[in-house]
């Protein structure tokens, strides 16, 4: 079994080397089942699909040094199209049995992969989200970012009759079967609500596991603003009331 790590990248020269090192270093050995007699360990192969979305800060120069590596595939967008477009390109080029979205900053820890993969490998679900609000260790976030995140997650729950705690999480993991049914179109910050809406409308229930989170400051490259929240809200409404 193979895991495809989809990594959209845009102007991350300060973190790209380290996040690639961390993704490569994490052991993909997942313990499934119960007890020494019934349990077993499953080891997954991996591929890292990096999609550079028109970086201008030197990120592309570093990524060119990875071309030809057996575990990494690098794809360059000629100009910036947005996170959603980069993820879509990554999914189109992925060959794994399971897909995992990984941001190129250091806010999310790849050491969470085994916990994220376990429910899928045990057959409990085909979609797992890593939640920052289910008890994992976290660096204190901006208050209004938390309020915005919880409001948008609440809207998701109201519109799609679910009980998610963190719709906007980076860590979205799903099987190839799910990926092949998605018809993603949103180019930018609409990606998270669009993929969540489509997964729920397809009839899948999302399994959440707690993850750690180390949020960045704006001076460290954090890019989200209140305008992005409006994009997310509009995307939720569009996906709920249109086919």
Note the pLDDT tens digit of each residue in 36-82: 777 899 999 999 999 999 999 999 999 999 999 999 999 999 999 99
- The CA R_g of the chain, rounded to the nearest whole Å, is 17
pLDDT bin (cut points 50, 70, 90) of residue 216 is low
Strand partners, 29: 43
Cα(177)–Cα(67) distance, integer angstroms: 28
Question: 226 or 88: which carries more pLDDT confidence?
Answer: 88
Residues across the chain: 243
Q: Rounded mean pLDDT of 178-182?
A: 97
Residue 218 confidence (pLDDT) above 60: no
Question: 137: helix, coil or strand?
Answer: coil
Q: What angle do CA 212, 218, 220 make, to 5 degrees?
A: 70
Q: Cβ neighbours of residue 204 under 8 Å, at least 6 residues apart? A: 125, 126, 127, 178
Residue 226 confidence (pLDDT) above 70: no
pLDDT at res. 221: 46
Question: 85: helix, coil or strand?
Answer: helix
Ranges of each domain in the chain: 2-241
2-241 classified as CATH 3.40.50.20: no
List the one residue out of 39, 40, 59 whose CA is nearest residue 50: 59
pTM above 0.85, yes or no: yes
Cα(172)–Cα(114) distance, integer angstroms: 13
């Amino acid at each position: 079994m193979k895991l495809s790590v989809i990594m959209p990248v845009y102007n991350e020269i300060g973190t790209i080397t380290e996040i690639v090192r961390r993704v490569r270093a994490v052991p993909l050995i997942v313990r499934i089942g119960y007890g020494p007699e019934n349990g077993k360990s499953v080891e997954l192969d991996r591929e890292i699909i990096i999609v550079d979305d028109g970086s201008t800060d030197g990120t592309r120069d570093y990524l060119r040094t990875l071309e030809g590596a057996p575990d990494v595939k690098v794809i360059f967008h000629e100009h910036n199209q947005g996170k959603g477009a980069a993820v879509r390109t990554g999914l189109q080029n992925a060959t794994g049995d399971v897909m995992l979205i990984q941001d190129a900053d250091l806010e999310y820890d790849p050491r969470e992969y085994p916990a994220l993969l376990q429910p899928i490998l045990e057959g409990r679900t085909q979609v797992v989200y890593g939640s920052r609000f289910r008890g994992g260790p976290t660096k204190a976030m901006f208050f209004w970012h938390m309020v915005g995140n919880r409001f948008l997650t609440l809207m998701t729950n109201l519109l799609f009759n679910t009980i998610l705690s963190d719709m906007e999480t980076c860590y979205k993991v799903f099987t190839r079967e799910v990926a092949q049914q998605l018809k993603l179109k949103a180019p930018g910050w609409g990606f998270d609500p669009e993929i969540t809406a489509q997964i729920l409308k397809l009839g899948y229930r999302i399994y959440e596991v707690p993850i750690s989170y180390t949020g960045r400051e704006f001076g460290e490259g954090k890019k989200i603003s209140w305008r992005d929240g409006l994009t997310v809200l509009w995307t939720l409404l569009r996906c709920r009331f249109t086919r």
